[in-house]
Amino acid sequence: MKTIKAAVCHAFGEPLVVEEIHLADPQMGEIEVTLSAVAICHSDITYASGAWGGTLPAVYGHEAAGRVTALGPGVNGLALGDAVIVTLIRACGSCPSCAGGKPTLCETPVDGDSHPLKTTQGGNLHQAMATGAFAEKVVVSHRQAVKIGPDMSMEAASLVACGVITGVGAVVNAAQLRAGQDVVVIGAGGVGLNAIQGARIAGARRIVAVDMSEEKLAIAREFGATDGVLATDKKPWIAAQRAMGKGADAVIVTVGAIPAYDDAPRYLGSGGKVIMVGMPHSGAKSTYEPVILAAIGQGMQGSKMGDVVIQRDIPWMVDLYEQGRLKLDELISGRWTLDQINEAIEDTKTGSAKRNVILFD
């Protein structure tokens, strides 16, 4: 076992504690990655607050990039020194969901308590979201990692691991938006900006961003939104429909706010669908009028991690970035060290940050 530094959650709602922990060597089908960067996602913050339950103590963090520094047996396609993006999508490859092309819905349980993390006293330490990337190194399944070019910026690469694939994937995979269609994106945070980028790349005619902040709406336009609507306006769906000239073909809800879910169907046109991405706290409930959805053929669909196949979609997105067609560097609002992680989390909670990134190099 190696001794590394990690930010550990010992109590929900309390600051993380940067301390030494033990990391096991990679086992069958696993790799060790020495991290260069990990981005802070709102999911990490929500888990650490206790809103979704979970096991403690735990190491969160799941948007990471680094280099392979050890290989377990049975690993193919990766070598020591390879630069990789590390995701939380641990897919077995053989269950019905994986075999059916839906690895984000893998049905094989992941035990994050037995391996690979321990406290320095030998106690259990949960590897949250199958990653545990608020740490200097991770040991993960080789199926969670995608090789990238050696010269790609690691801080930009880390963003692809969750926020980018979730936002872009929600549009191109879940909504299957076609060129010329209209889309509303509710929430112009990290995932929302990437949904906006996905709509632009897919050739959307009108892309309407909806947010509580004028500042965020201005940023949304930089990422491809054609119009912006304040969620605080009375009946904002009317302003959105005026901008499009009709109801939306797709509404992407990227925030976990119940009012956003309550209102989302109101933005739709006939045959449109709501793509549910943002995750409210456990137990929260939304309401809608089903007779309208039934009468004009509308739908509501959940999308986990953008329904991506990482070995297919991440190389495509990296290529778009290298062509200058996908903004990644512009998503980074702050750079921090691991010792500053609680400050970075507090800054993320303000809502003004696009993505804060912890750098290890």
Q: Write the CA distances from 312 to 13, 75, 103, 248, 327, integer angstroms.
A: 37, 18, 11, 28, 19
Q: Please check whether residues 253 and 323 belong to one and the same domain.
A: no
Q: What is the pLDDT of residue 246?
A: 97
Residues 6+ apart with CB under 8 A from 176: none
Q: Please check whether residues 203 and 91 belong to one and the same domain.
A: no
Q: Please check whether residues 211 and 344 belong to one and the same domain.
A: no
Q: Please check whether residues 6 and 147 belong to one and the same domain.
A: yes
Q: What is the pLDDT of residue 353?
A: 65
Q: Please check whether residues 226 and 353 belong to one and the same domain.
A: no
Q: How many residues are present in the chain?
A: 361
- CATH number for the domain that contains residue 318: 3.90.180.10
Could you tell me if residue 170 is inside a domain? no
Instruction: Tell me the pLDDT of the chain (361 aa) as tens digits.
Output: 899 999 999 999 999 999 999 999 999 999 999 999 999 999 999 999 999 989 999 999 999 999 999 999 999 999 999 999 999 999 999 999 999 999 999 999 887 677 899 999 999 999 999 999 999 999 999 999 999 999 999 999 999 999 999 999 999 999 999 999 999 999 999 999 999 999 999 999 999 999 999 999 999 999 999 999 999 999 999 999 999 999 999 999 999 999 999 999 999 999 999 999 999 999 999 999 999 999 999 999 999 999 999 999 999 999 999 999 999 999 999 999 999 999 999 999 887 768 899 999 7
Q: Please check whether residues 19 and 136 belong to one and the same domain.
A: yes
Backbone Cα Rg of the chain: 20
Could you tell me if residue 168 is inside a domain? no
Q: Please check whether residues 29 and 79 belong to one and the same domain.
A: yes
| Measured distance CA(287)–CA(32) in Å, rounded | 45
Q: Model pTM?
A: 0.94
Residues 6+ apart with CB under 8 A from 312: none
Could you tell me if residue 207 is inside a domain? yes
Q: Please check whether residues 7 and 152 belong to one and the same domain.
A: yes
Q: What is the pLDDT of residue 3?
A: 97
Q: In sequence order, which ranges of 51-202 are alpha helices (DSSP H)?
A: 96-99, 154-159, 165-169, 190-202
Cα 37–313–35 angle (5° rounding)?
A: 15
Q: Write the CA distances from 146 to 57, 76, 94, 243, 309, integer angstroms.
A: 28, 12, 19, 39, 11
Q: Please check whether residues 94 and 120 belong to one and the same domain.
A: yes
| Measured distance CA(186)–CA(43) in Å, rounded | 17
Boundaries of domain holding 14: 2-162+307-359
SS (H, E, C) 304-344: CHHHCCHHHHHHHHHHHHHHCCCCCHHHEEEEECHHHHHHH
Token pair, residue 262, equals 């309550």
Could you tell me if residue 169 is inside a domain? no
Q: What is the pLDDT of residue 351?
A: 76
Could you tell me if residue 337 is inside a domain? yes
For the chain, the domain total comes to 2
Q: Please check whether residues 275 and 322 belong to one and the same domain.
A: no
Task: Give the residue carrying structure tokens 């019905």.
Answer: 96
Residues 6+ apart with CB under 8 A from 2: 22, 23, 25, 137
* Final residue belonging to a domain, choices 257, 285, 302: 302
